Structure 1
Amino acid sequence: MENVKSPWPDPEGVIPVTDKSPEDANVTTRRFLDSLHVEMRIIDSVKPDLSTNIFGKTYSTPIMMPAFSHLNKTNSSKGKPMSEYAAAAKELNTLNWVGMETNETFEELSKEGADTVRIIKPFADHDRIFSEIEFARKCGAVAVGMDIDHVAGKDGNYDVVDGLPIGPVFFKDLLEYVKAAGVPFVVKGVLSVNDALMARDAGAAAVFVSHHHGRVPFGIPPLYILPKIKEALAGSGVSIFCDCSIDTGYDAYKALALGADAVAVGRGILMPLLKEGRKGVVRKVKGMNAQLSEMCIYTGVKDMKSFDPSVLHRL
C-alpha cells in the first residue's frame, strides 16, 4: 500500500492511507485537523482585525458561507434555508456561495443582497454551463465557478445529478469558461498541485481546496495538501479557499495558517440553519469569529495577512 508523505514529521514519516470508504475521508480529515496544535506567541500580541479582502471587496470575516444546493427541499419551520443563509451572509458581511440551483432560485437568492458566488456543475451540456454563467453575471454574482470534483459517479461512469448528465472537465473548456465569465472564476474541488496549477494557467482567480465532504474515495485531507498548493501558487495572485470539516474558529485558524485566504463552513451551520434559520447561522459564525480571534491573540496574529504556519505542530 502506498503511503503519503506528510509535511509534518511523525514517527514513521508518513501518513498511512487506510480509508475504506468515501465517508472515511471525512474521519481522516477530522483526525488530521485535530492533530494540529499551536505554540503560544503572546508578547506584543493584540486583538486581530478579521477583515478579509476577496475579489477586491472587504468582508468582516474570512469565514464564508458554503455552496449548499437544494436545501429548500428540506423541511424547515424557519423559512427557505437557502434564502436564510444568504440573509445571514448579508448580516455577517461575509461572502455567500450557492451550489447547483435553477436560475430562478439563484435569482431569488441574489435578491437577499449578499455578495454571492455561483458554483456550476460540469454538465455534459456545455451550453447549459455558459447559460448559467451568463445568468449569474446578470444577477450580480461577484464570481462564478465550477465543481470539478463532481465528475465520476459510483457506477464508474460520469455522474448524473438531478437527471442532468455530467461530463469531463478539460483544460480547453476551463479556458472558455474563464473567458466567458466576465467576473472572477473559481475552480472548486482542487485536491492536488497539478489541478491548482492548471486552474492558474486557465486564468482562474481562485482555487477551492476541497474533497466535497468525502466525495472522492481515499481523499486526502484538504489541509494536508494546502501548504503545497500555497507554495505552488505563490506570486500568482490566485486566491486559495478551503473547506471540509471546518466547524470551529480553531479549525478556520489552522486552514488560514496553512495558506488559505478564506474558508467555508458547511455542515457546521447546517443544523443551526435548519433549526433557527438566519439567526442560527449568524450565532454560529459569530461564535467561530470569537474562537478565531482568541487563537490569533494566543499566537501573535494581528490581521488575516499575518499568519505564520510555523506556529502549528502536528502531534
Structure 2
Amino acid sequence: MPEQYPGPKGLIPVTSGKAEDANIITRQYLDSILVEMRVLDAVEPDLRTTIFGHEFTSPIVMPAFSHLNHVGENGRKPMTENAWAAKKMGMMNWVGMEPNETFEEIAAVGVPTIRNIKPFADHNRILNEIAHSKAQGALAVGMDICHVPGENGKYDVVDGIPLGPVTVDDLKTYVQAAGETPFVAKGVLSVTDALKAREAGVKGIVISHHHGRLPFATPPLLLLPEIKAALKGTDITIFVDGGIETGYDAYKALALGADAVSVGRAILWPLLKEATPGVMRQVAKMNQELSQMMMYTNVHDTKSFDDSVLHLPR
C-alpha cells in the first residue's frame, strides 16, 4: 500500500518521492494552518522590514531564480527585469546561479541583492564568486547547502559544473571570505543543520526544501518554530520559502517566526510573460493580502506577529 500523508482535504498518496510529492505535502500543510480573528483595536499595518541594515517596504522578498538567460523584447533579461521590479517596489532582490557577468548586469540596477552560490566542487570558484559579489556591492552572499546530491546518488552536476559536499569547516571558510558581507545558508531543513550553520557563523538561513529536492521533504513551516526556538538569542535572520503563493501564505510563515519570506513560482510566470510590470502587480497583490491578514489579526507591524493566532494541524 502506498504511503499516505494526512492533509486537510483527506489522505494524499505519496508514491514516488519526487518533487511533486514534497510540494503537494507543503501546499496541504500550508492550507491546514488556520487563523483566528482579532479585529478590535486593529489598524492598517506597517509592512516595512529591516534586513541586514537595509529597510524594505515588505517582508516579502524576491526568489533566487537561476538560468533565466533569454533576452526580452526590451533587450533586458528576466533576471534584470526581476531586479527592476524589486527596485521599483523597494524590495530585497535575490539571485541564484548566474555567471559573474550576469550578476554585474543585475547589480547595475542598484537594488540590494543577495547572490546565491552553488556548492561547487572547485572551492576556488566559490571564493572567486564571493569576492566578485562583494566587489559588486552585494547585500549578502549565500549558498545552496542543500544542492549536493544529484538524482543518481552522486554529487550533482549543474550546467556541466560539478558540485561537491559542504562541511561546517567549508562554511566557516566562506563566512570568513565574505567578511563584513553577511553570509546566508540556503536549504536548511532541520534544527541540526541550523545549529551547524550557527556554528559556522552565518548571518542568515533559508528554511527550504528547494522546491522538493529532498524526496518526502518536511514542509518548511512545520520545522520553522523548532528552528526559530533553537536559534533564539542569536542575530541570525530567518528566511523561508517553499510553496508561498499568496500574502496569506506569507502571513503564516511570518507569524510562525520567519523574518522574511521568499516567493518563487507565484511570480515566475508573471515575470516570463509580462516582465517587470507583471512581477510588480503580483507582488502588490500579495502585499495587499498580507496587510489584510495583519488587520484581521490585530498585527500592527512586522515586529508584532503572534503565533498564538494560528491553529496548527494535530
TM-score bucket of the superposed structures, by smaller chain? over 0.9
Shift of 1:18: 4.0
Q: Tell me the amino acid that sits aligned with residue 177 of structure 1.
A: Y
- 8 Å Cα contact 1:189-1:209 kept in structure 2: yes
Q: Provide Cα deviations, 1:48-90, integer angstroms capped at 9, x if missing partner.
A: 11000100111000000000001123x7546410100000010
Q: Provide Cα deviations, 1:169-220, integer angstroms capped at 9, x if missing partner.
A: 0000100100000200000000000001111111100010000111111111
The whole-number CA distance in structure 2 between the counterparts of 1:72 and 1:247 is 24
Q: Could you tell me which residue of structure 2 aligns to residue 233 of structure 1?
A: 231
* 1:195 has 2:157 as partner: no
The whole-number CA distance in structure 1 between the counterparts of 2:13 and 2:257 is 23
Shift of 1:113: 1.0
For these two proteins, the number of residue pairs brought into alignment is 306
Is the partner of 2:280 in helix, strand or coil?
Answer: helix
The whole-number CA distance in structure 2 between the counterparts of 1:177 and 1:207 is 14
Q: Could you tell me which residue of structure 1 aligns to residue 49 of structure 2?
A: 52
Q: Could you tell me which residue of structure 2 aligns to residue 295 of structure 1?
A: 293
Q: Could you tell me which residue of structure 1 aligns to residue 123 of structure 2?
A: 126
* 1:65 has 2:62 as partner: yes
Q: Tell me the amino acid that sits aligned with residue 253 of structure 1.
A: Y
Q: Could you tell me which residue of structure 1 aligns to residue 264 of structure 2?
A: 266
* 1:163 has 2:160 as partner: yes
- 8 Å Cα contact 1:19-1:217 kept in structure 2: no
* 1:173 has 2:194 as partner: no
- Percent identity (aligned): 60
Q: Could you tell me which residue of structure 2 aligns to residue 83 of structure 1?
A: 80
The whole-number CA distance in structure 1 between the counterparts of 2:118 and 2:141 is 11
Under a length normalisation based on structure 1, what TM-score does the superposition of the two structures give?
0.93
- 8 Å Cα contact 1:76-1:275 kept in structure 2: no
Shift of 1:110: 0.4
Shift of 1:153: 0.5
Q: Tell me the amino acid that sits aligned with residue 202 of structure 2.
A: A
Q: Tell me the amino acid that sits aligned with residue 115 of structure 1.
A: P
- 8 Å Cα contact 1:19-1:218 kept in structure 2: no
Q: Tell me the amino acid that sits aligned with residue 269 of structure 2.
A: M
The whole-number CA distance in structure 1 between the counterparts of 2:193 and 2:233 is 17
Unaligned runs of 5+ in 2: none
Shift of 1:115: 0.4
Q: Could you tell me which residue of structure 1 aligns to residue 100 of structure 2?
A: 103
Q: Could you tell me which residue of structure 1 aligns to residue 254 of structure 2?
A: 256
The whole-number CA distance in structure 1 between the counterparts of 2:47 and 2:33 is 22
Shift of 1:235: 0.9
Is the partner of 1:118 in helix, strand or coil?
Answer: strand
Unaligned runs of 5+ in 1: none
Q: Tell me the amino acid that sits aligned with residue 58 of structure 1.
A: E
Is the partner of 2:69 in helix, strand or coil?
Answer: helix
Under a length normalisation based on structure 2, what TM-score does the superposition of the two structures give?
0.94
Q: Could you tell me which residue of structure 1 aligns to residue 144 of structure 2?
A: 147
Q: Could you tell me which residue of structure 2 aligns to residue 25 of structure 1?
A: 22
Distance 1:180 1:304, change over 3 A: same
The whole-number CA distance in structure 2 between the counterparts of 1:22 and 1:116 is 28
Partner of residue 93 from structure 1, selected from 90, 95, 110: 90
Q: Tell me the amino acid that sits aligned with residue 284 of structure 1.
A: Q
Partner of residue 284 from structure 1, selected from 267, 282, 288: 282
- 8 Å Cα contact 1:66-1:264 kept in structure 2: yes
